Amino acid sequence: MQTSAQNTTTKATNVANPEQLKENFERIAQQMYTQNVALAQTNRTLSILRAIDLLILDSSKNLKQLGQEISKAVIEASPYIVVSIFSLDHHKDTTLSMQGFTVNSSVPVSTDISLQLAQLHIPTRGDWVESAKRNAVIDLSDQSSSQQLSLFEGNAQLLYSTLHNELHIHHVYVTKLETRNKLTGVMMVGLSETPNIDDIELIERLAEPTGIAIDNRLLFEENRKVVLQLQQMNDKLKEIDATKDEFISMASHQLRTPLTSMKGYVSMVLDGDVGEINDQQRTMLQQAFDSSQRMVYLISDLLNVSRLRTGKFTIANSPTNLADIVESELEQLQASADARGVKFVFHKPDAFPTLQLDETKVRQVIMNFLDNALYYTPANGRVTVELSNRDNGVVFTVTDSGLGVPKKDQPYLFTKFYRAQNARKMRPDGTGLGLYMARKIIIAQGGTILFNSQEGVGSTFGFAFPYQSTINIPAQLARK
């Protein structure tokens, strides 16, 4: 019986007290409410952050559109009355201008507050902006507080009065927007009450991606400005280049006629058409003839460069014997070779085939290769010229024992106006057009440029023309 009574007492004790149940329920309800509030705040923050992230990725909006979208996103997901964004712009970096302003839709507005904000600017050299403080709170109900914070350039009391009296904003939370350790803007948030810790955490958390979004837009607009400037400069350079080409073409035509006459008369004297000349006279006249020939080829290069640019460069093929051309050009340079102590080695092939080529332009290429080899080969050096008839095409090469082309210069050797550094030192008067035009002329006729060089040993320049298809060319020589 005693045991039964004890059990009854224990059961009675285990029965929950109604007051205790109520207290536990209220405690659990409070915890759930707190957690729900925190969850709602987290969701709100994530929603705003997602909206700002999407704006960061959107390159189609300008600064004002970006600022407006950010302020709108914050207002729509928060209880704040007003959000405004100020930032630098790519036109002026001494002040921050309003880029976005949104009022909560639940608040009636009769005054155009955005116009008041647009007329105010925040100087980047202002006291608060330059201070170490990241944020500040303006108490609009306390006139001395609003006057103490020197934020705007000029008198902002009209704005503060409108915010306080019409929108019932009591406090404005102001925070700097900074990215890459520099100020990009300021965010202003109007609240009906003193900002609590949750408000401050939310606003500060939003400030970082907002600063990044503004910084990205500033960089994008700066890049676009630079691209536009470069495009304008490029257009101007093209215009100058076209004017230069027109001048070169005109000057070249004017120079070619008297040079041709001079060359013709010197040739007549050398041939004895006006009487006998002694050896000294012949040497001097030959040098004059060779120099005039180089000038003629230089003028041809200039004209052809101009024609390439204007689309007037043409190839006029006719039956051409390369063996005769090579022999003729070597004869013209023989006197210069003798004077420089350089030996030409060439064995003219017998019964060389006739090809359909532009004789004038190919002659110009051959002369360029021979002249370069002669000039860059030292005294007692040798220039070997080979012209061979292969199974399916012809190959012409000029090999010298000169200074050679440095490896770093070789990829650019056939580009317009480019000259190897050692060549510029040895021959400052070169134009860098000869090899450029040689490549253009040979390729335009279906040929292949040949080149190989070793600095301090010598170089090989040449070309190959197939009869019908590509011929077998040593890999170390071919240049597309």
> According to the model, what pLDDT value does residue 438 have?
92
The DSSP secondary structure of 366-398, one letter per residue, reads HHHHHHHHHHHSPTT-EEEEEEEE-SSEEEEEE
| Rounded distance between C-alpha atoms, residue 213 and residue 236, angstroms | 34
Domains along the chain?
21-212 (3.30.450.40), 314-479 (3.30.565.10)
Cβ neighbors of 24 (< 8 A, separation 6 or more) are none
- Mean pLDDT, the chain cut into blocks of 10 residues (480 residues total): 50 63 76 70 71 67 87 86 87 83 86 82 85 89 66 81 89 92 92 90 87 87 89 91 77 78 87 88 84 79 77 86 92 88 90 88 93 92 92 90 92 88 81 88 93 94 77 47
Closest CA to 435 of 406, 420, 450, 414: 414
Cβ neighbors of 430 (< 8 A, separation 6 or more) are 419, 423, 424
β-pairing, 458-466 with 448-454?
antiparallel
Q: DSSP label at 316?
A: -
Model pTM?
0.52
| Digit-coded pLDDT (tens) for 122-131 | 888 888 888 8
> According to the model, what pLDDT value does residue 289 have?
84
| Digit-coded pLDDT (tens) for 211-262 | 888 888 888 888 888 999 999 999 998 888 778 777 777 777 777 778 888 8
How far is the CA of 455 from the CAs of 104, 113, 197, 406, 475, in angstroms?
77, 76, 74, 5, 19
Signed CA dihedral, 243, 246, 249, 250: sign only: negative
